[in-house]
Structure 1
């Protein structure tokens, strides 16, 4: 599987009922857990003071990432995504077999 850095900004449409927002957020937490268990969601952060998330996600390719992974998130219709494909860096200290 390939890894992707995904920046997500979620904007709730004006006029959306709070119960709809709460329902989608609860469903989002459940779906994120399922995607983590399946190995698609690796890490997720929220930059301090910013209304966005930054995460490392895994998928076979960018098409799978968009259609079968991110596209299944309940908040996806309200999300703006920035996806960057990643590749291993030879100096990554977490890389298996990296030189000491």
Structure 2
């Protein structure tokens, strides 16, 4: 099942740089692992913002929630999810 996921990260301005750097490194590692597994086939930066637009390919909404909530930056994200269905004009 495909999901369009818009994520915006809002780290606290007073978060120590070392903690932010650690979170970002762990986030990158997990995101790349999920991409290699085919669970996160599209990841696009939103220009000018600390945000991304992604497509996840997972079994269902429960799996998507488990993946998203496992992201190290999850506590600092505003996430919007839209389930996708094949368009009848798609080739």
Q: Same fold (TM over 0.5)?
A: yes
Residues in 2 aligned to 1:16 and 1:50: alpha-carbon distance in whole angstroms: 18
For residues 47-58 of structure 1, the aligned pairs below 5 Å read: 47-58=46-57
Structure 1: 5+ residue runs without aligned partners? 93-97
User: Which of these residues, 71, 82, 87, is aligned with residue 80 of structure 2?
Assistant: 82
TM-score, structure 1 as length reference: 0.84
Over aligned residues, Cα RMSD in angstroms?
Answer: 1.1
Structure number with bigger Rg: 1
Q: Shift of residue 90 of structure 1? A: 2.0
Query: Which structure is richer in relative contact order (CA contacts within 8 A, separation 6 or more)?
Result: 2
TM-score, structure 2 as length reference: 0.92
For residues 1-100 of structure 1, the aligned pairs below 5 Å read: 2-67=1-66, 69-92=67-90, 98=91
